[in-house]
Amino acid sequence: AQTVTQSQPEMSVQEAETVTLSCTYDTSENNYYLFWYKQPPSRQMILVIRQEAYKQQNATENRFSVNFQKAAKSFSLKISDSQLGDTAMYFCAFTSADSNYQLIWGAGTKLIIKP
């Protein structure tokens, strides 16, 4: 069965620092999609970044970037110059044909940015 593991239940960093959230997954497929979603205290879940497994280049969105290591089945999220508004739960998610393109979610990492 495909699984997604986020090993850090909670992290905290000072404002303006860089932080990396880890995510590992288990699959036997070669083609799949990975996501990071953010859930701030308002509860509204939004997409942060998306990566297609067949693309070797790591996805970036402004201060957010990923380190996609396909062989290691690792998909970490790096947040540069962290801001107070980055305080949120961050969820890693995975989908492939094997899961009928339904999302499989990690348990989440609670990130706190301290002023």
Partner 1 sequence: NAGVTQTPKFQVLKTGQSMTLQCAQDMNHEYMSWYRQDPGMGLRLIHYSVGAGITDQGEVPNGYNVSRSTTEDFPLRLLSAAPSQTSVYFCASSLTSGVDTQYFGPGTRLTVL
Give me the residues that bind partner 1 (CB under 8 A), please.
Answer: 4, 9, 33, 37, 42-47, 50, 91, 93, 95, 99, 101-103, 105-108
Distances (CA, A) of 5 to 1, 24, 61, 82, 106: 13, 5, 23, 23, 5
Cβ proximity to partner 1: between 68 and 91 the closer is 91
Cβ proximity to partner 1: between 10 and 17 the closer is 10
In terms of C-beta density within 10 A (0-12 exposed, 13-18 middle, 19 or more buried), how is residue 13 classed?
middle
Cβ proximity to partner 1: between 46 and 112 the closer is 46
Min dist. Cβ of residue 43 to partner 1 (A): 5
Distances (CA, A) of 41 to 48, 79, 111: 16, 18, 11
Cβ proximity to partner 1: between 1 and 71 the closer is 1
Min dist. Cβ of residue 85 to partner 1 (A): 18
